[in-house]
Structure 1
Amino acid sequence: MDYLLGALGVAIVVFASTDVDDLFVLLGFFADPKFRLRQIIIGQYLGIATLFGASVAASLLVLVIPAAYIGLLGLAPIYFGLKRLWEVWNGIDTGDNPEDHEKASAGHGNIVAVALVTIANGGDNISVYTPLFATRSAYEILAFGCVFAILTAVWLGVAHALVNHPKLGAPIKRHGYRVVPFILIAIGVLILYEAGTAGLFWN
Protein backbone atom coordinates (compact mmCIF):
# COMPACT_ATOMS: atom_id res chain seq x y z
CA MET A 1 0.00 0.00 0.00
CA ASP A 2 2.77 2.43 0.95
CA TYR A 3 4.59 1.49 -2.25
CA LEU A 4 1.49 2.34 -4.32
CA LEU A 5 1.05 5.64 -2.48
CA GLY A 6 4.67 6.44 -3.26
CA ALA A 7 3.99 5.74 -6.94
CA LEU A 8 0.96 8.06 -6.84
CA GLY A 9 3.13 10.79 -5.35
CA VAL A 10 5.69 10.34 -8.10
CA ALA A 11 2.91 10.49 -10.71
CA ILE A 12 1.66 13.82 -9.33
CA VAL A 13 5.13 15.35 -9.30
CA VAL A 14 5.96 14.08 -12.79
CA PHE A 15 2.71 15.35 -14.33
CA ALA A 16 2.88 18.76 -12.63
CA SER A 17 6.51 19.30 -13.59
CA THR A 18 6.13 18.25 -17.23
CA ASP A 19 2.75 19.83 -17.97
CA VAL A 20 2.83 23.17 -16.16
CA ASP A 21 3.24 25.01 -19.48
CA ASP A 22 0.11 23.29 -20.74
CA LEU A 23 -1.90 25.61 -18.49
CA PHE A 24 -0.95 28.58 -20.66
CA VAL A 25 -1.94 26.71 -23.80
CA LEU A 26 -5.34 25.88 -22.28
CA LEU A 27 -5.83 29.51 -21.27
CA GLY A 28 -5.32 30.46 -24.89
CA PHE A 29 -7.83 27.90 -26.15
CA PHE A 30 -10.47 28.85 -23.57
CA ALA A 31 -10.01 32.53 -24.44
CA ASP A 32 -10.52 31.84 -28.14
CA PRO A 33 -14.25 32.09 -29.05
CA LYS A 34 -13.77 29.66 -31.94
CA PHE A 35 -13.15 26.80 -29.49
CA ARG A 36 -16.00 25.27 -27.52
CA LEU A 37 -15.60 23.79 -24.04
CA ARG A 38 -16.40 20.29 -25.26
CA GLN A 39 -13.84 20.50 -28.04
CA ILE A 40 -11.07 21.60 -25.68
CA ILE A 41 -11.83 18.88 -23.14
CA ILE A 42 -11.98 16.09 -25.73
CA GLY A 43 -8.89 17.37 -27.54
CA GLN A 44 -6.89 17.70 -24.34
CA TYR A 45 -7.74 14.19 -23.18
CA LEU A 46 -6.97 12.74 -26.61
CA GLY A 47 -3.58 14.47 -26.56
CA ILE A 48 -2.70 13.34 -23.03
CA ALA A 49 -3.93 9.79 -23.75
CA THR A 50 -1.77 9.65 -26.89
CA LEU A 51 1.32 10.78 -24.96
CA PHE A 52 0.61 8.26 -22.22
CA GLY A 53 -0.04 5.42 -24.66
CA ALA A 54 3.08 6.18 -26.69
CA SER A 55 5.18 6.21 -23.54
CA VAL A 56 3.78 2.89 -22.35
CA ALA A 57 4.41 1.30 -25.76
CA ALA A 58 7.93 2.70 -25.84
CA SER A 59 8.65 1.38 -22.35
CA LEU A 60 7.41 -2.10 -23.31
CA LEU A 61 9.68 -2.09 -26.34
CA VAL A 62 12.51 -0.62 -24.27
CA LEU A 63 12.59 2.13 -26.87
CA VAL A 64 13.55 5.74 -26.23
CA ILE A 65 12.63 7.92 -29.19
CA PRO A 66 15.48 10.31 -30.10
CA ALA A 67 14.66 13.82 -28.91
CA ALA A 68 15.42 15.29 -32.34
CA TYR A 69 12.59 13.29 -33.92
CA ILE A 70 10.17 14.08 -31.09
CA GLY A 71 10.99 17.73 -31.74
CA LEU A 72 9.35 17.45 -35.17
CA LEU A 73 6.04 17.61 -33.28
CA GLY A 74 6.87 21.28 -32.72
CA LEU A 75 5.82 21.93 -36.31
CA ALA A 76 2.17 21.35 -35.33
CA PRO A 77 1.77 24.34 -32.96
CA ILE A 78 3.76 26.51 -35.40
CA TYR A 79 1.31 25.61 -38.16
CA PHE A 80 -1.77 26.27 -36.05
CA GLY A 81 -0.23 29.47 -34.69
CA LEU A 82 0.48 30.82 -38.18
CA LYS A 83 -3.01 29.81 -39.31
CA ARG A 84 -4.65 31.65 -36.39
CA LEU A 85 -2.37 34.66 -36.90
CA TRP A 86 -3.46 34.85 -40.53
CA GLU A 87 -7.14 34.66 -39.50
CA VAL A 88 -6.75 37.41 -36.88
CA TRP A 89 -4.74 39.61 -39.27
CA ASN A 90 -7.39 39.29 -41.98
CA GLY A 91 -10.30 39.84 -39.60
CA ILE A 92 -11.65 36.33 -40.06
CA ASP A 93 -12.06 35.92 -36.31
CA THR A 94 -15.60 37.16 -35.70
CA GLY A 95 -15.68 36.72 -31.97
CA ASP A 96 -19.26 36.56 -30.78
CA ASN A 97 -20.92 35.69 -34.10
CA PRO A 98 -23.39 32.89 -33.21
CA GLU A 99 -23.06 31.36 -36.68
CA ASP A 100 -19.32 30.92 -36.17
CA HIS A 101 -19.98 29.22 -32.85
CA GLU A 102 -22.35 26.80 -34.56
CA LYS A 103 -19.73 25.95 -37.19
CA ALA A 104 -17.06 25.54 -34.51
CA SER A 105 -19.29 23.18 -32.54
CA ALA A 106 -20.19 21.08 -35.56
CA GLY A 107 -16.68 20.32 -36.82
CA HIS A 108 -13.96 18.09 -35.46
CA GLY A 109 -11.13 20.29 -36.66
CA ASN A 110 -10.82 22.14 -33.36
CA ILE A 111 -10.66 18.88 -31.41
CA VAL A 112 -7.83 17.69 -33.65
CA ALA A 113 -6.07 21.05 -33.27
CA VAL A 114 -6.19 20.91 -29.46
CA ALA A 115 -5.03 17.28 -29.45
CA LEU A 116 -2.11 17.92 -31.82
CA VAL A 117 -0.95 21.00 -29.91
CA THR A 118 -1.18 19.05 -26.65
CA ILE A 119 0.87 16.23 -28.13
CA ALA A 120 3.43 18.61 -29.60
CA ASN A 121 3.72 20.63 -26.40
CA GLY A 122 4.15 17.41 -24.41
CA GLY A 123 6.32 15.60 -26.93
CA ASP A 124 9.31 15.79 -24.61
CA ASN A 125 7.20 14.11 -21.93
CA ILE A 126 7.69 10.81 -23.75
CA SER A 127 11.40 10.88 -22.97
CA VAL A 128 10.51 11.34 -19.29
CA TYR A 129 7.62 8.88 -19.06
CA THR A 130 9.27 6.06 -21.03
CA PRO A 131 12.17 5.22 -18.68
CA LEU A 132 9.87 5.81 -15.71
CA PHE A 133 7.28 3.31 -16.96
CA ALA A 134 9.98 0.82 -17.95
CA THR A 135 10.81 0.31 -14.28
CA ARG A 136 7.21 0.08 -13.02
CA SER A 137 4.70 -2.74 -12.72
CA ALA A 138 1.47 -2.84 -14.73
CA TYR A 139 -0.51 -1.79 -11.63
CA GLU A 140 1.73 1.20 -11.07
CA ILE A 141 1.45 2.26 -14.71
CA LEU A 142 -2.33 2.01 -14.40
CA ALA A 143 -2.17 4.17 -11.27
CA PHE A 144 -0.08 6.70 -13.20
CA GLY A 145 -2.75 6.78 -15.90
CA CYS A 146 -5.51 7.44 -13.35
CA VAL A 147 -3.52 10.26 -11.74
CA PHE A 148 -2.80 11.82 -15.14
CA ALA A 149 -6.51 11.68 -16.03
CA ILE A 150 -7.51 13.37 -12.77
CA LEU A 151 -4.82 16.05 -13.03
CA THR A 152 -5.81 16.74 -16.63
CA ALA A 153 -9.29 17.56 -15.32
CA VAL A 154 -7.70 19.82 -12.69
CA TRP A 155 -5.65 21.60 -15.37
CA LEU A 156 -8.80 22.12 -17.47
CA GLY A 157 -10.71 23.37 -14.44
CA VAL A 158 -8.03 25.88 -13.43
CA ALA A 159 -7.68 27.28 -16.94
CA HIS A 160 -11.45 27.52 -17.40
CA ALA A 161 -11.86 29.20 -14.00
CA LEU A 162 -9.19 31.79 -14.79
CA VAL A 163 -10.75 32.67 -18.13
CA ASN A 164 -14.17 33.04 -16.49
CA HIS A 165 -12.90 34.89 -13.39
CA PRO A 166 -14.92 38.09 -12.67
CA LYS A 167 -11.82 40.28 -12.90
CA LEU A 168 -9.25 38.24 -14.81
CA GLY A 169 -11.67 36.69 -17.28
CA ALA A 170 -12.65 39.85 -19.19
CA PRO A 171 -9.13 40.91 -20.26
CA ILE A 172 -8.18 37.31 -21.05
CA LYS A 173 -11.23 36.90 -23.30
CA ARG A 174 -10.75 40.33 -24.85
CA HIS A 175 -7.12 39.94 -25.79
CA GLY A 176 -6.45 36.21 -25.37
CA TYR A 177 -7.30 35.16 -28.92
CA ARG A 178 -4.80 37.71 -30.26
CA VAL A 179 -2.04 36.29 -28.07
CA VAL A 180 -2.78 32.62 -28.84
CA PRO A 181 -1.01 32.54 -32.24
CA PHE A 182 2.22 33.91 -30.75
CA ILE A 183 2.06 31.46 -27.82
CA LEU A 184 1.64 28.52 -30.20
CA ILE A 185 4.45 29.66 -32.50
CA ALA A 186 6.76 30.27 -29.53
CA ILE A 187 6.00 26.81 -28.11
CA GLY A 188 6.73 25.20 -31.46
CA VAL A 189 10.03 27.03 -31.89
CA LEU A 190 11.04 26.17 -28.32
CA ILE A 191 10.27 22.49 -28.88
CA LEU A 192 12.35 22.44 -32.07
CA TYR A 193 15.22 24.24 -30.35
CA GLU A 194 15.32 22.20 -27.15
CA ALA A 195 15.05 18.91 -29.02
CA GLY A 196 17.88 19.83 -31.40
CA THR A 197 15.62 19.12 -34.35
CA ALA A 198 17.42 21.67 -36.53
CA GLY A 199 20.29 19.19 -36.76
CA LEU A 200 18.06 16.82 -38.73
CA PHE A 201 17.65 19.38 -41.47
CA TRP A 202 21.31 20.49 -41.50
CA ASN A 203 22.53 16.92 -41.65
Structure 2
Amino acid sequence: MAYVLGVLGVAIVTFTSTNIDDIFVLLGFFADPKFRLRQIIIGQYLGIGVLYGVSAIASLLALVIPAAYIGLLGLAPIYFGLSRLWELWNGGEAGDNPQDHAKASAGHGNIVAIALVTIANGGDNISVYTPLFATRSAYEVLAIGCIFAVLTAVWLGSAHSLVNHPKLGAPIRRHGHRVVPFVLIALGILILYEAGTVTLFR
Protein backbone atom coordinates (compact mmCIF):
# COMPACT_ATOMS: atom_id res chain seq x y z
CA MET A 1 0.00 0.00 0.00
CA ALA A 2 2.81 2.38 0.94
CA TYR A 3 4.53 1.55 -2.36
CA VAL A 4 1.41 2.46 -4.38
CA LEU A 5 0.91 5.66 -2.42
CA GLY A 6 4.57 6.51 -3.01
CA VAL A 7 4.24 6.22 -6.79
CA LEU A 8 0.95 8.14 -6.69
CA GLY A 9 2.51 10.90 -4.60
CA VAL A 10 5.54 11.27 -6.85
CA ALA A 11 3.33 11.38 -9.97
CA ILE A 12 1.04 14.02 -8.49
CA VAL A 13 3.90 16.22 -7.26
CA THR A 14 5.80 15.87 -10.55
CA PHE A 15 2.80 16.69 -12.75
CA THR A 16 1.63 19.56 -10.57
CA SER A 17 5.04 21.22 -10.28
CA THR A 18 5.77 21.02 -14.02
CA ASN A 19 2.31 21.95 -15.29
CA ILE A 20 1.08 24.62 -12.89
CA ASP A 21 1.60 27.28 -15.56
CA ASP A 22 -0.51 25.23 -17.97
CA ILE A 23 -3.55 26.32 -15.97
CA PHE A 24 -3.02 29.89 -17.14
CA VAL A 25 -2.57 28.82 -20.77
CA LEU A 26 -5.77 26.75 -20.60
CA LEU A 27 -7.59 29.70 -19.08
CA GLY A 28 -6.72 31.66 -22.20
CA PHE A 29 -8.00 28.95 -24.53
CA PHE A 30 -11.25 28.40 -22.61
CA ALA A 31 -11.89 32.14 -22.52
CA ASP A 32 -11.43 32.42 -26.30
CA PRO A 33 -14.66 31.60 -28.19
CA LYS A 34 -12.60 30.51 -31.23
CA PHE A 35 -11.61 27.34 -29.38
CA ARG A 36 -14.17 24.65 -28.72
CA LEU A 37 -14.14 22.39 -25.64
CA ARG A 38 -13.41 19.27 -27.72
CA GLN A 39 -10.47 20.93 -29.48
CA ILE A 40 -8.91 22.04 -26.21
CA ILE A 41 -9.24 18.59 -24.64
CA ILE A 42 -7.73 16.74 -27.62
CA GLY A 43 -4.96 19.30 -28.09
CA GLN A 44 -3.99 19.25 -24.43
CA TYR A 45 -3.86 15.44 -24.31
CA LEU A 46 -1.77 15.33 -27.49
CA GLY A 47 0.71 17.80 -26.04
CA ILE A 48 1.02 16.04 -22.69
CA GLY A 49 1.24 12.68 -24.50
CA VAL A 50 4.18 13.85 -26.60
CA LEU A 51 6.03 15.16 -23.54
CA TYR A 52 5.42 11.88 -21.70
CA GLY A 53 6.38 9.71 -24.69
CA VAL A 54 9.62 11.56 -25.47
CA SER A 55 10.62 11.39 -21.80
CA ALA A 56 9.86 7.66 -21.59
CA ILE A 57 11.95 6.94 -24.70
CA ALA A 58 14.81 9.09 -23.45
CA SER A 59 14.77 7.26 -20.12
CA LEU A 60 15.72 4.03 -21.94
CA LEU A 61 19.29 5.34 -21.85
CA ALA A 62 19.27 3.91 -18.36
CA LEU A 63 19.67 0.47 -19.98
CA VAL A 64 23.25 1.29 -20.98
CA ILE A 65 24.15 4.06 -18.52
CA PRO A 66 24.30 3.47 -14.73
CA ALA A 67 21.34 4.96 -12.85
CA ALA A 68 23.68 7.06 -10.69
CA TYR A 69 24.83 8.97 -13.79
CA ILE A 70 21.32 9.24 -15.22
CA GLY A 71 20.34 10.71 -11.87
CA LEU A 72 22.59 13.68 -12.63
CA LEU A 73 19.71 14.90 -14.79
CA GLY A 74 18.00 15.57 -11.49
CA LEU A 75 20.11 18.71 -11.44
CA ALA A 76 17.82 20.07 -14.20
CA PRO A 77 14.71 20.62 -12.06
CA ILE A 78 16.96 22.06 -9.34
CA TYR A 79 18.38 24.47 -11.93
CA PHE A 80 14.91 25.45 -13.19
CA GLY A 81 13.71 25.92 -9.62
CA LEU A 82 16.67 28.13 -8.75
CA SER A 83 16.21 30.08 -11.99
CA ARG A 84 12.58 30.79 -11.16
CA LEU A 85 13.55 31.82 -7.64
CA TRP A 86 16.10 34.21 -9.15
CA GLU A 87 13.41 35.66 -11.45
CA LEU A 88 11.08 36.16 -8.49
CA TRP A 89 13.89 37.73 -6.44
CA ASN A 90 14.50 40.21 -9.24
CA GLY A 91 10.81 41.02 -9.60
CA GLY A 92 10.16 38.89 -12.71
CA GLU A 93 6.98 36.93 -13.20
CA ALA A 94 7.00 33.30 -14.37
CA GLY A 95 4.54 32.01 -16.93
CA ASP A 96 3.35 32.85 -20.40
CA ASN A 97 0.66 35.13 -21.72
CA PRO A 98 -2.21 32.95 -23.01
CA GLN A 99 -3.30 35.70 -25.42
CA ASP A 100 0.11 35.58 -27.11
CA HIS A 101 -0.31 31.83 -27.60
CA ALA A 102 -3.74 32.33 -29.13
CA LYS A 103 -2.39 34.89 -31.59
CA ALA A 104 0.51 32.60 -32.52
CA SER A 105 -1.91 29.80 -33.35
CA ALA A 106 -3.85 31.90 -35.88
CA GLY A 107 -4.05 30.26 -39.29
CA HIS A 108 -3.42 26.73 -37.97
CA GLY A 109 -5.75 23.99 -36.87
CA ASN A 110 -6.94 24.69 -33.34
CA ILE A 111 -6.09 21.21 -32.07
CA VAL A 112 -2.57 21.31 -33.50
CA ALA A 113 -2.07 24.83 -32.15
CA ILE A 114 -3.11 23.81 -28.64
CA ALA A 115 -0.87 20.72 -28.74
CA LEU A 116 2.11 22.77 -29.92
CA VAL A 117 1.54 25.39 -27.24
CA THR A 118 1.38 22.66 -24.60
CA ILE A 119 4.61 21.10 -25.86
CA ALA A 120 6.42 24.43 -26.09
CA ASN A 121 5.17 25.53 -22.68
CA GLY A 122 6.24 22.17 -21.20
CA GLY A 123 9.62 21.87 -22.90
CA ASP A 124 11.34 21.86 -19.51
CA ASN A 125 9.13 18.94 -18.42
CA ILE A 126 11.23 16.48 -20.42
CA SER A 127 14.28 17.34 -18.32
CA VAL A 128 12.27 16.52 -15.21
CA TYR A 129 10.40 13.42 -16.45
CA THR A 130 13.39 11.68 -18.08
CA PRO A 131 15.52 11.15 -14.96
CA LEU A 132 12.41 10.29 -12.95
CA PHE A 133 11.37 7.58 -15.44
CA ALA A 134 14.95 6.30 -15.72
CA THR A 135 14.97 5.44 -12.02
CA ARG A 136 11.58 3.68 -12.13
CA SER A 137 10.39 0.28 -13.36
CA ALA A 138 8.36 -0.08 -16.56
CA TYR A 139 5.26 -0.71 -14.43
CA GLU A 140 5.83 2.49 -12.47
CA VAL A 141 6.38 4.54 -15.65
CA LEU A 142 3.11 3.17 -17.05
CA ALA A 143 1.30 3.87 -13.78
CA ILE A 144 2.67 7.43 -13.72
CA GLY A 145 1.44 7.86 -17.32
CA CYS A 146 -2.07 6.81 -16.30
CA ILE A 147 -1.99 9.20 -13.35
CA PHE A 148 -0.81 11.98 -15.68
CA ALA A 149 -3.82 11.26 -17.93
CA VAL A 150 -6.20 11.61 -14.99
CA LEU A 151 -4.49 14.77 -13.77
CA THR A 152 -4.70 16.27 -17.27
CA ALA A 153 -8.48 15.87 -17.02
CA VAL A 154 -8.37 17.55 -13.61
CA TRP A 155 -6.34 20.43 -15.11
CA LEU A 156 -8.84 20.86 -17.93
CA GLY A 157 -11.80 20.78 -15.55
CA SER A 158 -10.15 23.22 -13.16
CA ALA A 159 -9.30 25.71 -15.90
CA HIS A 160 -12.81 25.50 -17.30
CA SER A 161 -14.28 26.18 -13.85
CA LEU A 162 -11.91 29.07 -13.20
CA VAL A 163 -12.99 30.75 -16.44
CA ASN A 164 -16.54 30.73 -15.11
CA HIS A 165 -15.43 31.84 -11.63
CA PRO A 166 -12.60 34.35 -12.21
CA LYS A 167 -12.39 35.39 -8.55
CA LEU A 168 -11.32 31.87 -7.57
CA GLY A 169 -8.43 32.05 -10.01
CA ALA A 170 -7.01 35.30 -8.64
CA PRO A 171 -5.18 33.75 -5.63
CA ILE A 172 -3.66 31.03 -7.85
CA ARG A 173 -2.43 33.56 -10.39
CA ARG A 174 -1.00 35.65 -7.59
CA HIS A 175 0.77 32.97 -5.53
CA GLY A 176 1.05 29.75 -7.56
CA HIS A 177 4.28 30.61 -9.37
CA ARG A 178 5.97 31.38 -6.04
CA VAL A 179 5.51 27.80 -4.79
CA VAL A 180 6.65 26.00 -7.95
CA PRO A 181 10.41 26.76 -7.60
CA PHE A 182 10.59 25.07 -4.19
CA VAL A 183 8.71 22.01 -5.45
CA LEU A 184 11.07 21.67 -8.45
CA ILE A 185 14.14 21.90 -6.22
CA ALA A 186 12.73 19.26 -3.85
CA LEU A 187 11.91 17.00 -6.80
CA GLY A 188 15.45 17.30 -8.16
CA ILE A 189 16.91 16.37 -4.78
CA LEU A 190 14.58 13.35 -4.62
CA ILE A 191 15.76 12.18 -8.06
CA LEU A 192 19.42 12.54 -7.07
CA TYR A 193 18.80 10.56 -3.90
CA GLU A 194 16.72 7.74 -5.44
CA ALA A 195 19.18 7.25 -8.31
CA GLY A 196 22.08 6.97 -5.87
CA THR A 197 23.79 9.94 -7.52
CA VAL A 198 24.86 11.29 -4.15
CA THR A 199 27.38 8.44 -3.93
CA LEU A 200 29.29 9.96 -6.86
CA PHE A 201 30.23 12.92 -4.70
CA ARG A 202 31.71 10.86 -1.87
The answer on whether the counterparts of 1:4 and 1:140 sit within 8 Å (CA) in structure 2 is no
The alpha-carbon distance between structure 1 residues 145 and 168, as it changes in their structure 2 partners (threshold 3 A), is same
Trace 1:33-112 onto structure 2 (pairs within 5 A): 33-62=33-62, 81=100, 84=103, 109-112=109-112
The answer on whether the counterparts of 1:44 and 1:118 sit within 8 Å (CA) in structure 2 is yes
1:37 partner letter: L
Deviations 1:139-198 (A, max 9, x none): 100110111011100100011011123x659xxxxxxxxxxxxxxxxxxxxxxxxxxxxx
Number of positions where the alignment pairs a residue of Structure 1 with one of Structure 2: 138
The alpha-carbon distance between structure 1 residues 25 and 60, as it changes in their structure 2 partners (threshold 3 A), is same
Q: CA deviation at 1:4?
A: 2.4
Q: Give the percent of matched residue pairs that are identical in Structure 1 and Structure 2.
A: 73
Structure 2: distance between partners of 1:82 and 1:153 = 21
Give unmatched runs, 5+ long, in structure 2.
63-69, 77-95, 169-202
Structure 1: distance between partners of 2:41 and 2:5 = 28
- Compute the TM-score of the two structures, normalised by the length of structure 2: 0.61
Paired position in structure 1 for 2:19: 19
- Compute the TM-score of the two structures, normalised by the length of structure 1: 0.61
Deviations 1:90-144 (A, max 9, x none): xxxxxxxxxxxxxxxxx97000000000001111000000000001001100110
Trace 1:183-198 onto structure 2 (pairs within 5 A): none
Residue 175 of structure 2 corresponds to residue 156 of structure 1: no
The alpha-carbon distance between structure 1 residues 36 and 108, as it changes in their structure 2 partners (threshold 3 A), is farther
Q: CA deviation at 1:82?
A: 7.5
Structure 1: distance between partners of 2:105 and 2:147 = 38
Paired position in structure 2 for 1:2: 2
Give unmatched runs, 5+ long, in structure 1.
68-76, 88-106, 170-203
Q: CA deviation at 1:81?
A: 3.0
Structure 2: distance between partners of 1:83 and 1:6 = 38
